[in-house]
Structures are given as structure tokens and as C-alpha cells.
Structure 1
Amino acid sequence: MSSSTSRATRTRQHTVVDSPYGPLTLVAADGFLCGLYMTAQRHRPAEESFGERVAAGEEPFPEVVRQLTAYFAGELTEFDLPVRLEGTEFQRSVWEQLVRIPYGQTWSYGELAAKLGKPNASRAVGLANGKNPVGIIVPCHRVIGASGSMTGYGGGIDRKVRLLAFESGAEQL
């Protein structure tokens, strides 16, 4: 997955696609995916910030849709898309670690903090994780509590449990 972190944007557009977890709103800025939001997602920006609504077949969305379709079919375990992660330097460092969590595996917030070289920052890591703007593709659902508990997920704990079950092979879509 490639990542651009520039905050300057000129053109924003969005589309909505169906998924096994409900409609997903995909947002792009200057051709880079910068948002993937579920319905009723915590920290979901206001709809008017998404830009013009376009068809899923319009650039840059066809490749995003193709890879999401392959993921939900169990045929893709790692996304390779141009992504623009818009957030603070610390948030971006957390989100960049998330893509290193292998498909079908989980890390605790503490493990993620340790990988960032900030072993006492698990709470801050959790807050940054919760504000991940590109869910599923930047797999924040793979982060769990130290005891293995399903703590926090912007898309809802039920979706987190289902995504993890799907990736472990326990749930078929």
C-alpha cells in the first residue's frame, strides 16, 4: 500500500458501494483514497466534506472496488492502493503500523505501542486507531485489548467481531 500524507487537497469526490457489512462510503482526494466509512461510524466526517458523489466506476474508485470485492470474496489478504492518510504525525504513524498486522492476526494496543517505540502509549494508540479514516483497508479491526477483548471499533464491535471471524475463516460471507 502506498501512502501520501499531504493535507492539501483540491478535488474531493465520493461513492457508496455495498459490502457484507453494509454500505461503504469511499472518499478520494486528488485521486488518493482518503476515507472508507461505514454507516453509523464513530468519527465519520460530515457528508458535505466528502465532495461530489460519483459512480463507483469513475476514477479513482474502480481499483478500490475491485480490491474490496476480492477481499470480501476471500481472494485478497493485502491491499495495494494509493492512500492519503490525513491526520497528525502520531496518528499517521499508528495507521502506518496497522497495515503491518498480518491478515487473520491481531495485535493488542500495547503491542502496537511497543512497535512504535512508545510502550507506554497504548491509550494514545487506541485513540489514534479509533480515528483511522480508511477502515478495512487500513485494518484497525485487527487491534484488540490486552486480554483479547474486543474493545472499541469505529464501525461497531459487532462488525469488528465479524471482520476478525471472516479473516480467521470462521465466517463465510
Structure 2
Amino acid sequence: MKQEQLNYERIAKAIEYIRVNFKKQPSLEEIAEVVNLSPFHFQRLFTEWAGTSPKKFLQYISISYARKLLKETGASLFDVAYETGLSGNSRLHELFISIEGMTPAEYKNGGKDLNILFNCVSSPFGPLLLASTEKGICYMAFCDDEVEEIAKLRISFPQATYLKGFDKMQENALLIFQKDWSKLDQIKLHLKGTNFQLKVWESLLKIPMGKLSTYGAIAQSIKLPNASRAVGTAIGSNPVAFLIPCHRVIQSSGNLGGYMWGLNRKSSMIGWEASVIDPLNLSY
């Protein structure tokens, strides 16, 4: 197993332990023991991976953090996100990721005239399957099983022509995992979806990095306040992990809700993003 993947699995296991036991406020030593590392080694590995200390990461991924955001303001998180915390070039809600929906013909014929380039790459949250057309990223999914994920991609576009490779579209997409976001406007998406799905996915792009929203708030934002369940279904059909940030949507109760790529990964993303944009530098 590659060292990077092993490190990710160790951190994911630690996050799961924290998520289940956050009310006990586990110590650094307790968490390190769960992943069979010394406290010093665990602290160093965790900080290297997440860009922050275990204690600060715990603050962001605990359920109480989400509940606090939801309960201590009279406005929705969707609205509050625009009012708090972010400034300057790091205000990612100002980011415009170009979305081009596939034409009706492309949608109907299963990508018959599309050439799709695909490749499996590494990310801070595990391996990613990236796929692109000449217009942009059409698929991006965490692939714990690469063969299985490629099969899902082929089901999405059964008539397309597939080639394995890495192009500029995919290179630009990976910029999202860097702390320098000055070139994110170069990311393009070429998506297969209904008009309603595209509208929901575009709304997700307006949630700033490090902030959260709810299914109800998304429904309000697209002027369909009674469509929370349909919004949830559209979010669950998101074909582009992380770039379209469905992981930033939680239940109104403060619970994380579901995530097609696993709740540990969702917790990891929420904590990682919050630590990246937070101006404070807290130590353990």
C-alpha cells in the first residue's frame, strides 16, 4: 500500500474515533493509540495532512460545531456564510466555476459523440477518478475501488469513447486542493443532468469553503422552498465530488446527513476546509 494512502487511512480512522467520541473530548494520546502511533508522530502526521492540529480539527468536525452554527443565529447558514469569516481572494463563494450542461442530444445518446479522458489520481482524501471532455470535467469521484468506479463512469456515458490519460482540465481541477486559489476560475465543468439538477449543483458552488448550508436553505436559494427532498436527491446525484461541494450540506438538525463517499470523508472535508480558511493559529 502506498504511504500516502496508508496515512490517509490512519487519519480517517482517527477522525471516525473523534466523531464517535467527541463528547468525551479524547486526548491526543488516546487518539494516537487508536491508530497505533506515538502521540508525537500522530501530531506531526495529522498536522502535515490537515494543515492544523488535532485539537483544532476536532473543533471543526464535531457535531456540536454544526449545531452551534445552526442554532446561534436567526438567519440560515446559507445567509450567514456570506457575512462571516472570509475576506479577500479566499472568498471562494465569489469563485465562478463555469458549468456547461450537455446538450439534449449528448444527454439522450449517452455520450455517443464524446471523447472522455480519465485517470486515477491522489488527493488529501484518498484516490480520485477524474474524467474530462474537451469542455471540462464531467466526472470526479473518490475511488476506493478503481475498477468499480471506472465501471460506474462507463454506465454514466455508455456510448462515449474512453482513453486513459491526464489533461489540462484535470490539472486545473486539482487546484482546489491547493491553498493558492488564484487560478480556480480556470476550472470548467461539463455535466450531464436535468435542468433542476444543474440548478441545484450551481447553488452548491455558492457555499463558501469552510461554511455549511442545509437542504432547506438550498431549496430556498433556487426559489423552491418546498423542494427540500428533491434537492436532497439532486445533491445525492452529484457527479463531481468536492468541486461541487455537496459535502457542505447538512441536515437542519445539525447532523451531518448522508454522503455517497462516506461520512468519515465528509467530516474530513468539513474540518480540512475550515482549518484552511480560519485565520487563527491554535495549537494543541
TM-score range (shorter-chain normalised) is 0.7 to 0.9
1:98 to 199, 204, 220: 204
Match of 2:102 in 1: 6
Match of 2:163 in 1: 52
Unaligned runs of 5+ in 2: 1-96, 277-284
Moved more, 19-28 or 44-53: 44-53
Name the structure with the higher helix share: 2
- 1:10-67 residue CA offsets vs partner (Å, 9 max, x unmatched): 21111111012111011112241111101259xx66244572111x3x34322223x1
Query: Normalised by the size of structure 2, how large is the TM-score?
Result: 0.53
One-letter amino acid of the structure 1 residue matched with residue 121 of structure 2: V
Match of 2:171 in 1: 62
Moved more, 78-87 or 153-162: 78-87
Is the CA contact (8 Å cut-off) linking 1:99 and 1:139 kept in structure 2? yes
Match of 2:67 in 1: none
Q: Indicate whether 1:32 and 2:136 are aligned.
A: yes
Is the CA contact (8 Å cut-off) linking 1:132 and 1:138 kept in structure 2? yes
Q: Distance in 2 between matches of 1:151 and 1:163?
A: 14
Is the CA contact (8 Å cut-off) linking 1:79 and 1:137 kept in structure 2? no
Q: Distance in 1 between matches of 2:211 and 2:183?
A: 13
Moved over 6 A (4+): none
Match of 2:217 in 1: 111
Query: Normalised by the size of structure 1, how large is the TM-score?
Result: 0.84
2:122 to 1, 7, 18: 18
Moved more, 3-12 or 144-153: 3-12
Match of 2:6 in 1: none
Please state whether the residue corresponding to 2:118 is helix, strand or coil: strand
Q: Distance in 2 between matches of 1:47 and 1:114?
A: 31
Structure 1 pair 78–95 and aligned structure 2 pair: CA distance change class (3 A): farther
- 1:83-112 residue CA offsets vs partner (Å, 9 max, x unmatched): 112111111110000000011111100000
Unaligned runs of 5+ in 1: none
Q: Distance in 1 between matches of 2:252 and 2:182?
A: 24
Name the structure with the higher strand share: 1
Please state whether the residue corresponding to 2:132 is helix, strand or coil: strand
The alignment covers a number of residue pairs equal to 163
2:188 to 82, 99, 105: 82
RMSD of aligned alpha carbons: 2.4
Is the CA contact (8 Å cut-off) linking 1:40 and 1:155 kept in structure 2? no
Q: Which is greater in Rg?
A: 2
